[in-house]
Amino acid sequence: MKLISWNVNGLRACVGKGFGDFFAAEGADIFCLQETKLQPDQLELPTPGYRQYWNSAVRKGYSGTAAFCRREPLSVRFGLGAPDEEGRVITLEYPNLFVVTCYTPNAQRELARIDYRVAFEDTLRAYLCRLDKEKPVILCGDLNVARSPIDLKNPRQNEGNAGYSKEERAKMEELLSSGFTDTFRSLYPDKEGAYTWWSYMFHAREKNAGWRIDYFICSDRLRPAVRDSLIYADILGSDHCPVGLLINEDAL
């Protein structure tokens, strides 16, 4: 089974930059998007063989998530149990697991939104732990944090900045210590230069001066079923690249 997650930074723009070719070529069982920046009626996107689920922000042109699935879920949930006005979370329930796609809020320049960010992290972690008591969980998406120095090109210069603050890193480690695994680092603990986001400035992508902030995180007990955790660094169309997870078919 193949799952793919991609922060498309505006799906309408990404469709014009080859989204459909990548979507068709990969043939994922579940394809999750973040930062769609649209309402479903603003884009005609044929995906034959897939069911589409959208969680759009109330504010137009902002945030938003989507999930395209070959297999119909048992249930689909939007948000974390409260109104999700920024369209940040979709949960797909299958017989043997939950798949959650998430677009975590950015703490913003000078950590202007760090209190909101930390509260969101606490709510997300509690939600995932509740799900995990029912059945294993796969969390994917743009989690807007680089875990450790190996996960960004210039850690010293970015110490304390949004995405690499001590508060955000601590919340990531708190999640992982609650019974979850960062699948990429589990398989590739020492791999350097593995990034999923690059600034549009200073030719950052050409220089591979990036950050790994897009993840597949799974319940610890699912780790033996993980075959690979992928970064599609050569796929353009957004300032993020897609990430993927290959997991044993019987997980679903």
Catalytic, 182? Answer no
Q: Is residue 191 a contact partner of residue 235, using CB atoms and an 8 Å limit?
A: no
Q: Tell me the two tokens of residue 153.
A: 């090109």
Q: Which residues pair with 198 in a beta bridge?
A: 210
Catalytic residue among 29, 84, 132, 142: 142
Which helix (H) or strand (E) element contains residue 96? none
Is 103 tagged catalytic? yes
**Residues contacting 52, CB < 8 A, separation 6+:** 40, 45, 66, 67, 68
Write down the catalytic residue from 53, 94, 103, 215. Answer: 103
Sheet of strand 226-231: strand arrangement: 51-55, 65-69, 30-34, 2-7, 243-247, 226-231
Axis-axis angle for helices 166-176, 114-134 (nearest 10)? 0
Give the residue numbers marked as catalytic: 103, 142
